[in-house]
Amino acid sequence: MKEKWHLPTSIAPWEFVQGVQQITGRDSKYCAQLLWQRGIRDLDQLPGFLDAALYQPTNASAFGMEMEWAIARLKQARDRAEKVTIWGDFDADGITSTSVLWDGLGQFFPQHLQLDYYIPNRMTESHGLNCPGIARLGSAETKLIVTCDTGSTNLEEIAYARSLGIEIIITDHHTLPDTRPEVTAIINPRYFEQSHPLYNLSGVAVAYKLVEALYEALPDLPLQPIENLLDLVAIGLIADLVELKGDCRYLAQVGIQQLRKQVNPATMTRPGVAKLLDLCKRNGDRPTDISFGLGPRINAVSRIHGDASFCVELLTSKDEQRCNYLAEEAELANARRKSLQKDTIKQVTKKLEQLDLSTTSVIVLEDPQWQGGVLGLAAGQIAQEYGRPTVLLSRDVSLKDSLGIARNAPTPHEIMARGSARSVNGIDLYQLVKSQSNLLHRFGGHPFAAGLSLPLANLDLFREGINQQLRQQTNIAEMMPQIDIDLVVTVADLGEDLFKELRQLEPYGMGNPVPKLLIKDCWFKNPWNKNIQDNRGQKIEYIKTTFQIGDDSSNQGFPGLWWGHYKDEIPVTGKWDAIAELDFNTFSKRYEIRLVTLGLAANDSSRNSALNQTHQLIDRRSTPQVLDNLEVPPEQASFLQQCPDNWGKICREYQQALKGDRSLVLAYEAASIDAMAIWQQLVGIAKYLSRTQKSVTKSQIQAKLNLSDRAFDLGLKALSDVGLTAKLQGNQYYFDLITNNIDINSNNSLDSFLSIIQEENFQQQYFYQVPLSTINQQLLVNN
């Protein structure tokens, strides 16, 4: 789907740039511009933002009486030798939260004797507390449950635990219920104001704060420094969808410092983390080592196996041999996850072809064959691509009741649809889903992501209701993916200096995303794609394409890659505008860009020359009022008595009327270059669809390439002449490649296609892009 590119409009004042450079001690114009655009403008607080050593973290006592009640109950449990169970979650934030409490509380409670943990199964239990699990803990004589990354809204399950004589301390960061749960303590930063430095803490950071408070209350008992937990905190923080602001950013910064130690045998304390870093070829010194390396591998275990309990052992065990084995298992799970995710995206895209997106504000799709473990990832990808909140559901046919007791096969009204939702463009997903709570079995989450389940019989009502709710808030016509561009750079700017400057703002994450760089008027060479392989050498159905990017600023190309795309999607002719992220590949030991998207260059050199001039072509038939607003006297304008049938004739035949200025000629030549580039892209699309046997609608191709109906028809004819035939089934076009040896420049219909593209591009530029206020001379066409 075509996305909207948004360029920054706010320019950092020179005084601010100077202030940033004084603080950083280096040339930091790009860094200053990013800070200014993102609202980080207080130079007095900037040192603490850039350097964790200069930040004053908030003490755990800020949680007030809730923290005091929690610590008092933990001390009581220790004194009474009561059994304590950590109730965690199966995603990366939940796993690291459990690991922090396992290691941290393990300094005060004997592990496996007085302290254990419980991780729900993603496939059979889903997020949050559940009554069957609580019942098992009651049978095992648990007296106190400490949740992490979950529990705030599980009111029914909390009441059930109380009926069994089990008390609960909640540590969580998800949305709060309307009334305080009846628990011993609830430690949740959502009780703070949004401006509070603790407000954005994720589950692992809240768990860390509980351990921090216990360390302060019983300082003589711990044998390990609390700082040893910070690498786990960083992994969970960066892997989760939370804004890295305030203490959240501070903990991520100091956590990465601790994470770096795991690659050095002399300082390594977590052999499992060290092995994971080795498998994903990372050094542990970048937030991307977590977001693209550790996080996906931890998450993949529950997505593939359901049970992720061994991940706590992987992150906390000191047994190197055991950790190596578990890390290999996580690596294989991640490889299978990639393949499964790609397959699910294909199926979702096929279903979307049957939807009318012009009337759809929230995408809600269900399929009984989808595996729930990857639905959140797929929903996030679809939401970004289509610019709409996305809910993807599979079916959960449970043969047990809420207490885990077997029952008869469910009726249609008892079949549950369960899945994940992801948001986009700042839409509060939690409130959106909550608006349909009367149709749901259960749900939870935060503004960016949610999990939910509902009776399958309610699905149509849910789909209709949630779409109607968002339509009341948002104009569907304006819903399209938006990419916020941070900086405009050239290929010559790419490399070590720019990378080091931008790195000053790390860690990147929610609220401080990886900078998107716009590279204008660039070209591509040597595209090549291949399937990636797992650690056993087996190919995975997940593709990446490498290439070289260049522009007029540099004689040398710069390496790049595009995940999930084929080489046919990289144009090798014409000039393009590209949006990318700059990164350092620790495996290849080189700087490279990760391509985000690309589009036809709006400002190649010839077109710049034309558009910087001050001419406007006006058709007097459709705009007679323009004559009354000419900025030059009519006698100085040139009148044509007959309308030329080709805009090129205007450029060629009336150059004298334009006093020898070749701007229109150059613009027409620029349109010719664009026409050939569009043809190249159309061929690439047709070849890709032929190879993958995917289909596409006419409107999708038109939106992608900005084609009129006439241009579309001529394009299909030109494709047919080179051996790429189109078949229309319903509203879907399928393409077949008749021969592998096609010559895209040998085409009887190509001239007609290029001509109409050339005409339309030229007219659009001069009717819609040059403001009337800049007219110095008018070329008036009479007919």
Q: Read off the pLDDT of residues 301-320 as tens digits, 9 standing for 90 and up.
A: 999 999 999 999 999 999 99
263 with 273: CB under 8 angstroms?
Answer: no
Query: 268-285, pLDDT tens digit by residue?
Result: 999 999 999 999 989 999
Q: What is the pLDDT of residue 465?
A: 94
State the Cα–Cα distance between residues 276 and 327, nearest whole angstrom: 6
- Find the range with the poorest average confidence among 87-96, 283-292, 773-782: 773-782
Q: Is the pLDDT of residue 208 over 70?
A: yes
Query: 451-460, pLDDT tens digit by residue?
Result: 899 999 999 9
| CB atoms near residue 599 (< 10 Å) | 15
Query: 555-596, pLDDT tens digit by residue?
Result: 889 999 998 788 888 888 888 999 999 999 888 889 999 999
As a whole number, the mean pLDDT across the chain is 84
**CA-based end-to-end distance of the chain:** 40
* Angle, alpha carbons 329-330-336 (nearest 5°): 90
Q: What is the pLDDT of residue 83?
A: 97
Q: What are residue 546's phi and psi, to 5 degrees? A: -105, 160
* Closest CA relative to residue 320, chosen from 384, 258, 271, 247: 271
Which stretch of DSSP H or E encloses residue 778? Answer: strand 777-781
**Residue 722: which residues within 8 A CB-CB, separation 6 or more?**
683, 742, 743, 744, 746, 747
Most confident of 65-74, 575-584, 665-674: 65-74
Q: What is the pLDDT of residue 536?
A: 62
- Find the range with the poorest average confidence among 120-134, 226-240, 694-708, 741-755: 741-755
210 with 67: CB under 8 angstroms?
Answer: yes
Tell me the one-letter amino acid at 633.
P
* Closest CA relative to residue 451, chosen from 440, 438, 460, 465: 440
97 with 207: CB under 8 angstroms?
Answer: yes
State the Cα–Cα distance between residues 294 and 523, nearest whole angstrom: 34
Q: Is the pLDDT of residue 611 over 70?
A: no
Q: What is the pLDDT of residue 298?
A: 97
Q: What is the pLDDT of residue 108?
A: 97
* Closest CA relative to residue 599, chosen from 654, 663, 677: 677
Q: What are residue 167's phi and psi, to 5 degrees? A: -90, 160
Q: What is the pLDDT of residue 652?
A: 44
pLDDT grade for 748, boundaries at 50, 70 and 90:
low
**Residue 731: which residues within 8 A CB-CB, separation 6 or more?**
697, 698
> Which pair of structure tokens corresponds to residue 751?
């001239």
pLDDT grade for 631, boundaries at 50, 70 and 90:
very low
Query: 375-391, pLDDT tens digit by residue?
Result: 999 999 999 888 899 99
Q: Is the pLDDT of residue 649 over 80?
A: no
Provide the b/e sequence for 167-195 (b: ≥16 CB within 10 Å): bbbbbbbbbeeeeebebbbbbbbbebeee
Q: What is the pLDDT of residue 397?
A: 55
Q: Tell me what percent of the residues of the chain surpass a pLDDT of 70.
A: 82
State the Cα–Cα distance between residues 305 and 303, nearest whole angstrom: 6
> Which pair of structure tokens corresponds to residue 567?
């080489």
Tracing tokens 């008892």 back to the chain, one arrives at 414
pLDDT grade for 739, boundaries at 50, 70 and 90:
low
Higher pLDDT, 54 or 741: 54
Radius of gyration of the chain (CA): 30
State the Cα–Cα distance between residues 599 and 712, nearest whole angstrom: 18
How large is the average pLDDT for residues 433-441? Answer: 92
Using DSSP, state whether 724 is helix, strand or coil.
strand
In eight-state DSSP terms, residue 642 is: S
State the Cα–Cα distance between residues 380 and 386, nearest whole angstrom: 10
Strands (E), 40-179: 83-87, 115-118, 142-147, 167-171
Query: 143-153, pLDDT tens digit by residue?
Result: 999 999 999 99
Return the bridge partners of 615, or none.
777
Query: 150-166, pLDDT tens digit by residue?
Result: 999 999 999 999 999 99
581 with 596: CB under 8 angstroms?
Answer: yes
Q: What is the pLDDT of residue 146?
A: 98
Q: Is the pLDDT of residue 614 over 60?
A: no
Q: Is the pLDDT of residue 629 over 50?
A: no
State the Cα–Cα distance between residues 532 and 336, nearest whole angstrom: 12
Tell me the one-letter amino acid at 115.
L
State the Cα–Cα distance between residues 391 and 363, nearest whole angstrom: 6
Query: 335-364, pLDDT tens digit by residue?
Result: 999 889 989 999 999 999 888 888 899 999
Higher pLDDT, 741 or 598: 598
Q: Is the pLDDT of residue 403 over 50?
A: no
Q: What is the pLDDT of residue 382?
A: 93
Count how many residues are written for the chain.
783
Q: Is the pLDDT of residue 663 over 50?
A: no
- Find the range with the poorest average confidence among 352-356, 410-414, 431-435, 678-682: 410-414
Q: Tell me what percent of the residues of the chain surpass a pLDDT of 90.
A: 56
Residue 198, CA distances (Å) to 128, 158, 217 in order: 23, 25, 20
702 with 710: CB under 8 angstroms?
Answer: no
Q: Is the pLDDT of residue 664 over 70?
A: no
Q: What is the pLDDT of residue 747?
A: 61
Residue 521, CA distances (Å) to 366, 545, 598, 609, 751 in order: 42, 21, 11, 13, 25
pLDDT grade for 773, boundaries at 50, 70 and 90:
very low
Query: 186-196, pLDDT tens digit by residue?
Result: 999 999 999 99
Q: Is the pLDDT of residue 499 over 50?
A: yes
Q: What is the pLDDT of residue 780?
A: 37
Q: What is the pLDDT of residue 537?
A: 62
State the Cα–Cα distance between residues 278 and 589, nearest whole angstrom: 15
421 with 429: CB under 8 angstroms?
Answer: yes
**Residue 626: which residues within 8 A CB-CB, separation 6 or more?**
618, 620, 772, 778
Query: 91-136, pLDDT tens digit by residue?
Result: 999 999 999 999 999 999 999 999 999 999 988 887 899 999 999 9
| CB atoms near residue 571 (< 10 Å) | 19
User: What's the predicted TM-score (pTM) here?
Assistant: 0.72
State the Cα–Cα distance between residues 133 and 317, nearest whole angstrom: 25
State the Cα–Cα distance between residues 506 and 238, nearest whole angstrom: 11
**Residue 578: which residues within 8 A CB-CB, separation 6 or more?**
518, 519, 522, 549, 595, 596, 597, 598
State the Cα–Cα distance between residues 228 and 240, nearest whole angstrom: 20
Q: What is the pLDDT of residue 446?
A: 80
* Closest CA relative to residue 256, chosen from 278, 280, 283, 225: 283
> Which pair of structure tokens corresponds to residue 385?
């691509």
> Which pair of structure tokens corresponds to residue 729?
């089934």
Q: Is the pLDDT of residue 226 over 90?
A: yes
Using DSSP, state whether 702 is helix, strand or coil.
helix
CA 341 to mean position of chain CA atoms: 15
Query: 291-305, pLDDT tens digit by residue?
Result: 989 999 999 999 999
Q: What is the largest CA-CA distance in the chain?
A: 102
